[in-house]
Amino acid sequence: MSILRITLCAAALFGLIQSAGAFGTVTILGQNAEHERITRHALACSQSGLSPSICFQSFSIDQLAGKSGTYGAVGAPDDITRGLTSKDYAHCDNGDYLNVANYPQSQSAAQANLVSCRNWMLTNLNQAVNDAAALLKNGKVDDSQIPTAIACSFNGRKGRAKCNVIEDFGLTLHALQDIYSHSNWSDQAGPGAISTSNAPGLRNNTIITWLNFRSNTGFPPGLISGCFILGFPPDTDGQRGCPNRATHYYLNKDKGQIDPSIGKGTTPRGQIDSNFGNAVNLAIRDTRDKWDYLREQLVARYGQKNGNLMICALTHDNAAKDCK
């Protein structure tokens, strides 16, 4: 769910932060670091319940999920210096249409935007597999490619191999999590007539099979995401650049409580029934699935022994000691 996108605008000179359209990556302005929390619930050794061999240890999950004062790889698309804050494909935005006469965006155009988002996820997963090659040297983990005390810098430039793979994976997860918070996949509409401010909900309780990269089940009928135009000051009515369209403002489930337990959302759509919780839970489940997929691809490309060494190097904080 592009957990609440934030961007540093010109006003950032005065320390102002504008919330844009995604799950949150900070803990101010109503955001609650939702991207970080979802990623930790899905993959952290301390929270996920995953096997110690495949969960992310403390320092490694800090790099992927971020922590106080940092974006981490999953929050990188919200860093204005990356140039991704306004890219639809990085947050699964502008996939909106309604089956009404004279609606300004056709179903095919809206679907194309969501297809671009899916392609973005898969491209970054494939790049993660490519970048993983440099994790090993002569059949062993290359210690020079593993960050220790110095954290990764997710600035779009290649660095140490572990940082590169985690960055690729984080870009995938950001878009993946955003599609659950920005779309109508798992939610329901509010009371009253269906309209651009009350889009129909699909009420699904499973992860999006169309995003299963092991096979393509076809685009889900009725799937939409809201129209979003980045700007300053923050959009307060959902209509900036989106007149008569189903807007991100009315459709997103970006903000709400996740820890210590998943609570109600605080956006208009997130407050309806269990919309926020449904989006969060499915984002957690699909984040785990994409980690499963990445691990499968590493083994398929590099073989069982080398693939498992790569997985160990990505998840373990002391790879030189633990990954033999």
pLDDT in the model for residue 22 = 64
Q: Which two tokens stand for residue 265?
A: 């959302």
Cross-strand pairs, 256: 265
CA distances from 290 to 22, 92, 250, 287 (A): 19, 17, 28, 5
What is the per-residue pLDDT for 232? 66
Measured distance CA(104)–CA(90) in Å, rounded: 23
pLDDT at 13: 27
User: Which pLDDT does position 48 carry in this prediction?
Assistant: 97
Angle (CA) 291-1-235 rounded to 5° is 155
What's this model's pTM, rounded to 2 decimal places? 0.91
pLDDT of 113 reads: 96
Q: Identify the pLDDT of residue 241.
A: 77
Long-range (24+ apart) CB contacts under 8 A made by 27-32 are: 27/68, 30/4, 30/255, 30/266, 31/4, 31/6, 31/254, 31/255, 32/255, 32/256, 32/257, 32/258
DSSP letter, residue 211? G
pLDDT at position 6? 35
**Mean pLDDT by groups of 10 residues along the chain of 324 residues:** 37 32 53 90 98 97 93 92 91 91 88 97 98 97 92 94 98 98 98 93 98 94 92 64 88 95 94 98 98 98 98 96 94
Strand partners, 262: none
pLDDT at 140: 97
Tokens read off for 304: 């069982």
pLDDT score for 70: 87
Q: What is the pLDDT of residue 237?
A: 62
Eight-class DSSP state of 18:
E
Q: How crowded is residue 20: how many other Cβ atoms within 10 Å of its Cβ?
A: 26
